[in-house]
Structure 1
């Protein structure tokens, strides 16, 4: 009798452990981990309440240099889906994304599916430009890719809900794009010239008819540094173009932009933009849509003044 009871107890324990393991695995497969906060906001708009979305990058951080903790690295390897920008953006996190992929986690490099542009270096095409979110139409492509991968790889989501959320968000992106085109349409073509802290507005310029005169840091990453000759060349271009403002990323000090303004010998405004990171909620760029509307007004106002 005792032997039979012991066998029954062992069987029941094994069943409970198996159920617990299945439950834990299901939970892990339903988690979505996103590297940057801009993509995190877009992903949350698509996913809604269908799955947990964890965003690694904090507000106001630099996507080129932010890192992750050991716990966050473990979250990546336990995720049901990892969403990252790709195109060389997350320089401090990419090896962890690769490790998760090597461990069998589905990963989505969003930038690969948005028809990426390439930087132009001395008249030749260079590396892919990762800053596609400055064009709302490219973000539409990102929404398509994210919604498909969520439906295909994340357990427990209702596909019809994901698709409905994606449709709703694409409509909001269409409205954003139309309002930006209308606002920039009031700026004379000869004033649609941009100087920024680094090369971040290539997609924006192509979409809305702007010319990028140059950048204080002549690179697609904030980890590079300008030389004295770089600053002089750009100062000469600013002087020749009569640019009324320099736009500096809000997450980076604008010291270099001010140095350029001094070298150009011009009284020129330095205007902050939320170009590479969202802010905390209530600080001007808590969501992607809010960030783009704020930047639209900042750019339009800076180039229309004077």
Structure 2
């Protein structure tokens, strides 16, 4: 008696397994963990605000020191409809974008060179160790002495109050310089650590096959540095953001969330005190959104280079 084997489906290049993945499903796969993180954040913040609202309603937390969240949200909506708050948001974000871009580019370059060449590490390592404990805001008085508080480009007659540079609060490079200094050192430190701890066997294998230094940088060191790279980016971004907001308190900038908070502090009215809470709330929400975007970029980049499997599992 002959036993017939069940037919085996041949695997080949069929329409089913060669079709491009659904973009929505791919986006959903990458975003599930981020979505749950947002849900937990909303629940935690919602509970905190509910308790705060109840304490304010029963006069445990009294005005004018404390305002209920409902009052703060109502004023936030008023400033949103008028568009006033967006001017300050865009000004601070523009400064952050320029300053952190400079910090990321130069920090990445210096960190890679420090990790690759002992002479470069011997030169920069004491400088990084010396400067990294200094808070970014501590540089403000010194930079003001060098450059001045008044917007530098307007003092030179290069721009005036009608230019778009001025409208976005970029007339004074002091804020950008201080933001760059604050953000560059965490990037340098983490990239240097990533390169120093990279698998030497991969580098030796590439050198044995005749790979150039440029190829080793791009194909070996950089992909292996991605987890440390994004850690440095997140630390540097947070430091740049805090420093820019704090420096806006002190500078002659007429736009920015830091300026908005400090300006309302000087007027001492009920409405301006509410605006202080609005400014703090808005800058927290803005940076939280930036952090979510960076986490999403980190996940898809690391998965692309094979550092983790899809779904976030480490290799």
- TM-score above 0.5: no
Structure with higher helix content: 2
Normalising to structure 2: TM-score of the pair?
0.23
Larger RCO: 1 or 2 (CA < 8 Å, sep 6+): 2
**Max Rg structure:** 2
